[in-house]
Amino acid sequence: MTSAIEPVDKYFDLERFPFRGLFDGVANVWETLSAIKSYLAAYNEYNIECAVPAGAWLANKDKIAVGEGTVIENGATITGPAIIGRDCVIRQGAYIRGNLVAGDGCVIGHTTEVKNSVFLNGAKAAHFAYVGDSILGVGVNLGAGTKLANFKIDTGERNVSLTIGGEVIATGLRKLGAILGDGAEIGCNSVTMPGTIIGKNTLVYPCVLLRGIVGSGRIIKLRQQQNIEKKRTQ
């Protein structure tokens, strides 16, 4: 049992998050992911307060809550249990696989797949993303093609561990994607390795492969050498 090394308030402002009870009793921020299932099981306000077009597919519908002003487009798939707040957009081709808690003003876009994750208010995964076992803070934006990998390729060590201050911390989680602090932005076609944690307002440039823990207010770039030559004519 470790002490609270990475507390929730280091990464997120929960004041306006309508489902902040999800974070009650959480010491290390990644422990929130283990609480999603029980939070949804205890939730008793599963109401759909927006129009659902005939072309959208809702499975386990009695365990789906959607707030006023949210737009669900034709071709979206939502499997409960799931809570989606007010004024969100669930676009055509979105695939929500269950165990989702999303606040107000979120976007889950075309061909974006989400499972066992939390979107705080204003978090957006608008285009071609994979969000598994992850937490997106207030106003986080994922560029097109972002993948938050959640499962280690090396099956010899099944659970994801973290290295914090030189100490290896066992999370006890077989699947752990990324935890992105408020205001973080991820550029197009970037990939985070399992157990990546990014602080508030950090910017990750496109096409970066990222792992580990990154502090707040950083810029992460991938430097490439380009050769531009004159085109030969025949």
Instruction: Convert the chain into a string of H (helix), E (strand) and C (coil).
Output: CCCCCCCHHHCCCCCCCCCHHHHCCCCCHHHHHHHHHHHHHHCCCCCECCCCCCCCEEECHHHEEECCCCEECCCCEEECCEEECCCCEECCCCEECCCEEECCCCEEEECCEEECEEECCCCEEEECCEEECCEECCCCEECCCCEECCCCCCCCCCCEEEEECCEEEEEEECCCCEEECCCCEECCCCEECCCEEECCCCEECCCCEECCEECCCCEECCCCCCCCCCCCCC
- Asked if residue 147 has pLDDT above 90, the reply is yes
Identify whether 31 is part of a domain. Answer: yes
**Per-residue pLDDT averaged across 90-99, rounded?**
98
Across residues 35-48, what is the average pLDDT? Answer: 98
Mean of the pLDDT values across residues 68-85?
98
Kindly name the residue from 97, 127, 211, 218 that is annotated as catalytic. Answer: 127
C-alpha–C-alpha distance, residues 169 and 165, integer Å: 10
Query: Where residue 19 sits, what CATH number does that domain have?
Result: 2.160.10.10
Residue 141 lies in a domain: yes
Of the chain, the percentage scoring pLDDT greater than 70 comes to: 97
Q: What is the pLDDT of residue 1?
A: 43
Total tally of structural domains belonging to the chain? 1
Q: Is residue 112 part of a domain?
A: yes
pLDDT of 33 > 70? The answer is: yes
- 97: in domain: yes
Question: Considering the chain, what is the average pLDDT of its residues?
Answer: 95
Residue 3 has pLDDT above 70, yes or no: no
Q: Calculate ∠ Cα 10-210-167, nearest 5°.
A: 55
Report pTM: 0.95
Is 112 exposed, middle or buried (CB count within 10 Å of its CB: 0-12, 13-18, 19+)?
buried
* Tokens linked to 175: 């699947």
CB-based contacts of 98, cutoff 8 Å, min separation 6: 60, 79, 80, 81, 82, 115, 116
pLDDT-based confidence at residue 4 (cuts at 50, 70, 90): very low
Q: Domain limits at 132?
A: 15-220
pLDDT in the model for residue 156 = 60
> Any catalytic annotation for residue 110?
no
User: Which of 138-152, 154-168, 208-222 has the least mean pLDDT?
Assistant: 154-168
Residue 184 counted as domain residue: yes
